[in-house]
Structure 1
């Protein structure tokens, strides 16, 4: 949970610093332009706000890793991926998409700061502590930060602590550690199928207990 503020702030800053002309360029999410990805982040910020005000009475049914296991792989609760580009296009100029994301992003960040880590919330049919829910989102923000700057080498990447924390959670989801020789960034990209391993990396992964690529629910 301690990594949520820094990962979220870094991502919000990266979106704000993205030139308007880059919104029509590809992102690291297959099939999505940068504007589509930012629209998805708007939906993510809404989800954080909604979830943090949706208390649950029962015992937790999932932790940060379990949050990412899709119990209904053929029917998620979020909007279909195909809808996101249409929503993104409806914003027109990038400045309006940036404005909406910044507005919701600030509110989501503030709500996370004020939330009780031990409180329980409900989302996607699961009950989690606030701490586990926000920890799960560190992986989301870090991966999408990498997606945002995937084709912009000069852009700032996620903080080192966020990369390390996201990798640790990904390894828990995958069921085993990834080779220490892989940097945190490369472990995340390869581990989620965002890029194929090189021949050397494939050799390092031989005998790895982790089940790759990880499909995040």
Structure 2
């Protein structure tokens, strides 16, 4: 749960450090500008608040790793993706979007700190402990932090501990470890299809390269 706070605080700080011009740059999410990604983070923060306020007595059905599912790669036709782009454009002034993320993001961060780690919560028609739910979001925050800074020179990278934990979760999801020589950030980008491997990386991955990407949702 500490990694949730660490990764979320680092991501919000990275957003806060963006210039207005940075919001018009492409992000690491295909088809999304940085402003679209930041708008998505607002929606993510809302989901965290809703989930932590949705306790249940039902038995857990997922954990931090199985919360994620391998899904079809995005096509840009998903209605929610299209809505995110329209919402981001509607903000107009990047300062308003930055303020909204800080406002609701701070609330989500406080809710996570106050949450009982053993309470069961419901989301996406699944049940997890709050501990597992917040652990799952370390991967979400870390991947989107990589997306945020993909084309922003000098922007801060995600915390090393969050990168390592996210790599471990993806390895568990894939059912096989990634080559140790592959840095965490590169492993995460390649495994999730955010970029193709170089020839050298493809050679290191061997047969594993044929199993990528692992788009998750």
Normalised to the residue count of structure 2, the TM-score between the two structures is: 0.94
Whether 1:84 and 2:76 are equivalent positions in the alignment is no
Residue equivalent to 2:189: 189
On the 8 A contact 1:171/1:210 being kept in 2, the answer is no
The question of whether the paired residues in 1 share the 8 Å contact of 2:4 and 2:137 is answered with yes
Deviation at residue 27 of structure 1 after TM alignment: 0.5
How far apart are the structure 2 equivalents of 1:209 and 1:93?
42
Task: Give deviations 1:9-52, integer Å, cap 9, x for gaps.
Answer: 00000000000111111011000000000000000000000000
The verdict on how the C-alpha distance between 1:117 and 1:84 changes in structure 2, with shifts beyond 3 A counting, is same
Partner of 2:108: 108
Deviation track 1:103-140 (CA, whole Å, cap 9, x = no partner) reads 00000000000001111000001000101100110000
- Asked if residue 156 in structure 1 is aligned to residue 153 in structure 2, the reply is no
Q: Which runs of 5+ in 2 are unaligned?
A: none
1:166 partnered with 2:135: no
CA distance in 1, matches of 2:211, 2:110: 36
Aligned to 2:34: 34
RMSD: 1.9
Q: Distance between the aligned counterparts of 1:79 and 1:194, measured in 2?
A: 21
Native 8 Å contact 2:29 2:37 kept in 1: yes
TM-score (norm 1): 0.94
Question: How many Å apart are 1:211 and its aligned residue?
Answer: 3.6
Where does residue 94 of structure 1 map in the other structure? 94
Question: SS of 2:127's equivalent?
Answer: strand
SS of residue paired to 2:122 = strand
